[in-house]
Amino acid sequence: MLLFIVLYLVVAVVDQFLVIATVDIRELPLGHYIPMGMVDPNVGVLVLLYRPIMAIPTIAVTIRRLHDGGKSGWWCLLWVLPVPVLGWLYLVPLLCRPSRD
């Protein structure tokens, strides 16, 4: 998670200062349902590309961590379903639990 955050900050800074093009998230298909679109609707192109690219490793690590804790990998759907931010409130403490032996 630390790597994800550090890389995201690097991409965001590069995007902010070096790339002029921005995209309004609310104008994308289903853009009104994207949580970050409610906070900061204008994002740079690099950040917009970074998010789906990093989604695959994030999901893989989440599933592995859930399995280590004795839970099904399907719980990783709480990142996006039913309400993204509310699901995180349950999922993050679940991921912080110690592993089973």
* Mean pLDDT, the chain cut into blocks of 10 residues (101 residues total): 83 81 74 66 78 85 88 84 76 85 62
Helix residue ranges, H only, 26-72: 35-39, 45-68
Domain of 17 in residue numbering reads as 2-95
- What's the confidence (pLDDT) of residue 3? 83
How many domains would you assign to the chain?
1
Structure tokens at 43: 């994002």
85 domain-assigned: yes
pLDDT at 59: 87
Residue 73: its H or E element? none
Six-digit token pair at 31? 């853009």
**Predicted pLDDT at 53:** 87
Is 100 among the domain residues? no
